[in-house]
Amino acid sequence: MLPDYIKYIIFDMDGTLLDSLSVWADSDCEFITGLGYEYDPAHSKAMKTMHFDSACEYLVREFSLPLSPKTVGEKILEIVEERYINRVSLKPWAEAFITAAEKRGIKMCVATSNKKKLAEDALKARGILDRTEFVLTSDEVGCGKESPEIFLKAAEMLGGKPCETAVFEDSLHAVISAKSAGFFVAGMFDSTYAEEFLQIEKVADISVKSFEELLK
C-alpha cells in the first residue's frame, strides 16, 4: 500500500484508472480515415501531450480539413463517447485498490485532461464516480498537466497538502509536474507510454506495473 502519512489520493484517469489511452488515437484514426485521408501513428504521438482543443487545431492544419476545429472536436467526441461508455475497462486491480484506500479512510479524487462530462460518464459506467470526492479537469483550472496547478487545486479541494497527497500518473510530463510541486508520486505503467516508463521510474517516488503490486 502507500506510506501511512498519505491521507489523500489524486488519480489520473486515462491510462491510470481506465485502460483508455488508445481510445483517442483510435477515434482520431476512425474520424480521419472516414474522411478519406491516411492516418499515421506519428500523428497520435504528436498529439499525446496536447490539450484536446489544440489537438483538433493540429488535425485541421495537418490534413487541411475543410472543417473548423470546433466541428472536428464535436465529431471526434461522438466517436469517443461511444467507446468510453461501451468498450473501456478499469485497469486491473484498480477497484480493489480503491476499496483498500477507502478502508484506510483515504479521500480520493480524479484530475484529468479529459472533458468533464465524458470523464464523469466513463467513471460512473465503471462504478467509480461515487467513490471519489470529485472530478477536476484541465479545462477548469485553465492549463494542462505540464503545470502542477491541477494537482495543487485538487489537493486544496480535498483539504490536504502536497506532502500528504499521492498523485497517480502514467505520463512522464505529469509525473515531473506533480513531483516538482512536492507531491508523493506513484508512476503507473501503461503500454501507450511504455517508452517513458524508465524515466518515470527515476522521477516518481514509487513506480508499478499494476495496482496489484500495491496490494501485497
What is the total count of domains within the chain? 2
* Residue type at position 173: H
Domain-embedded: residue 2 = no
How much is the average pLDDT of 57-74?
95
The answer to whether residue 1 sits within a structural domain is no
| Final residue before a domain boundary, out of 86, 101, 124 | 86
Tell me what pLDDT residue 127 has.
Answer: 94
% of the chain beyond a pLDDT of 70: 100
Q: Are residues 111 and 183 in the same domain?
A: yes
C-alpha cell at 168: 497517480
Q: What is the pLDDT of residue 184?
A: 98
- 165 forms beta bridges with 8
Whole-prediction pTM value? 0.87
pLDDT in tens, 184-209: 999 999 988 888 999 999 999 999 99
- Domain ends where: 86, 103, 138? 86
- Asked whether 12 and 204 are in contact (CB, 8 A), the reply is no
119 and 81 in a common domain: no
From 86, 106, 123, the end of a domain falls on 86
**How far apart (Å, rounded) are the C-alpha atoms in residues 8 and 6?**
6
SS (H, E, C) 183-206: CEEEEECCHHHHHHHHHHHHHCCE
Rounded Cα–Cα distance for residues 172 and 162 (Å):
18
Give domain status of residue 3, yes or no. Answer: no
Q: Give the tens place of pLDDT for each residue, 158-184.
A: 999 999 999 999 999 999 999 999 999
Residues 6+ apart with CB under 8 A from 122: 13, 18, 20, 84, 85, 88, 114
- pLDDT on residue 90: 96
Largest Cα separation within the chain, whole Å, is 55
Domain that holds residue 61: 21-86
Query: Same domain, yes or no, for 53 and 141?
Result: no
